[in-house]
Amino acid sequence: MTQNSPKLFSLEHKTVLVTGATGYLGRAISFGLAALGARVLVNGRSPEKVDELVASLHGTGGEALSAAFDVSDENSVKDWFVKFADQPLDGLVNNAYAGTAGSIETANAEDYRGSYEVTMVAAHQMLSAALPALRLAVQKNGAASVVNMGSMYGIVSPDQRIYAGKSVSNPPFYGAAKAALLQWTRYAACEFGPEGIRVNAVSPGPFPSDAVQQSNPDFIRSLSQKVPLGRIGVADELQGPLGFLLSDASSYVNGANLSVDGGWTCW
């Protein structure tokens, strides 16, 4: 394949599992990967929400299958991959997250544990269980790719002045877990790169949900003023970076963290 081939950016004939796919960002990611030709394995804890997204992807001509299980439940993860073990998995996107707002003063130990479990421990469990399928993809197609969803707050601290109070601030346990995930990404890239399994991260900037945009326009203005591009991100703008890292176009990109934050972390 020549270096100028448009097929470098294609995900045709690739199977990609997206965790937390039914959330705001996960949904956009899933549609973007399907549009690039991937067969998307839609993960989420709610079978109903997973099935709804699978149907929506089919409605746009995409190829998708249900992968409903809880990524924080080690046995559920293992059980699902036992059923999938004889199939190659070309890509894995560790996107799942669940947590609350807060600050150091308002947080408790369980907040930290919960955030770390669903971010860092779940990513470890997913990669560990997926290794046989990822290795099959390497044997069949020459490579496999893992992308971990970090955050700008895994790189810099939130500016607490733009939040209405400590109880609604972006919490310390979120950024701490994402920072750990970025370091784990580098470690995994070094461990599995020799096998042809690339591991990278994408760190989104401000991508508030539609509900937040509609209910809190003053907050959106404050966020926008923090961004060199002068606006918040649109969920669809994560599709290109994810597609790049999962495609053959990024065949020599390993252990990288791609910031998709409008320049937030450049200030």
**Structure tokens belonging to residue 31:** 């549609």
DSSP-H helix ranges across 193-253: 210-215, 217-225, 239-246
Can you list the residues of the chain whose pLDDT is less than 70? Answer: 1-6
- Predicted local confidence at residue 5, as pLDDT: 60
Sheet of 197-204, strand order: 63-68, 39-44, 15-18, 91-94, 144-149, 197-204, 257-260
pLDDT, one tens digit per residue, over 43-58 is 999 999 999 999 999 9
Structure tokens at 173: 């346990």
Using only C-alpha atoms, the chain has a radius of gyration, in whole angstroms, of 18
Give pLDDT tens digits for 215-256: 999 999 999 999 999 999 999 999 999 999 999 999 999 999
What is the rounded average pLDDT for all residues in the chain? 96
Q: How would DSSP label each residue in 81-130?
A: HHHHTTS---EEEE---------TTT--HHHHHHHHIIIIIHHHHHHHHH
Evaluate whether 95 touches 20 at the Cβ level (below 8 Å). yes
CA dihedral in degrees (208, 209, 213, 214; nearest 10)?
-170
Q: What is the pLDDT at residue 82?
A: 95
Q: Which domains does the chain have, with CATH numbers?
A: 6-256 (3.40.50.720)
Please report the pLDDT score of residue 85 as a whole number. 75
